[in-house]
Amino acid sequence: MKIYTKTGDKGTTALFGGTRVPKHNIRIESYGTVDELNSWLGLIRDQEIDTTSQQELIKVQEDLFTLGAILATDPKKAVLKNGKERLNIPKIEETHIQKLEVAIDSMEGNLPQMTHFILPGGHTSVSYCHIARTVCRRAERMATLLYENEPFDDSVLVYLNRLSDYLFVLARKLSKDLKADEVKWIPEKKG
């Protein structure tokens, strides 16, 4: 299998199901942003962080491949006329979302209560988490735009929303683990 096919040389790409669309199509932007997020998660996982977080991130990366496949599927080609699914694509289930929530609750239980917004930074690994969180939010914005025009399983939207929360809490956990300062944002008072 060659890595280059030359089929995209004119600015189009194929969705699962074969439909060709422009590479700037919102569907492509959506799953492309999920792919970008997955790469950032790989960078976080490559840092010197605890094994539990690394294992959680591997599972999230696997979930993001599933999520990307859902977003990359032409909804008109996903189901046959008899109602059966044409493409064998896994689903994002409630259990995937619950695993994120359990991880968030577990990390938060060991963190000081937040009283202010926190400025991103303090340690490279923490900053990577914040970058990943913002990419996740962008993926969520793209996916919600796509959803408005071509609805898909809304568990994808829930998962992305929860994942951005997970990444924020992971950043806080890593700040604590790495003894990095959390700089609070305290607006200056005028006058």
CA distance 142 to 83: 28
- What pLDDT is stored for residue 23 in this prediction? 74
Report CA-CA distances (Å) from 11 to 17, 26, 145.
18, 14, 22
pLDDT in tens, 89-102: 789 999 999 999 99
Point out the least confidently predicted range of 66-70, 81-85, 142-146.
81-85
Q: What is the mean pLDDT of residues 48-71?
A: 96
8 Å CB contact between 41 and 33: no
Look at residues 97, 107, 116 and name the one whose alpha carbon lies nearest to residue 159.
Answer: 97
User: What is the token pair recorded at 70?
Assistant: 């859902």
Look at residues 112, 113, 131, 109 and name the one whose alpha carbon lies nearest to residue 121.
Answer: 131
Q: What is the mean pLDDT of the chain?
A: 90
Secondary structure letter of residue 10 according to DSSP: T
Cross-strand pairs, 85 = 79
8 Å CB contact between 129 and 56: no
Q: Which residue has the higher pLDDT, 191 or 176?
A: 176
Domains of the chain: 12-78+91-182 (1.20.1200.10)
0.75 exceeded by pTM? yes
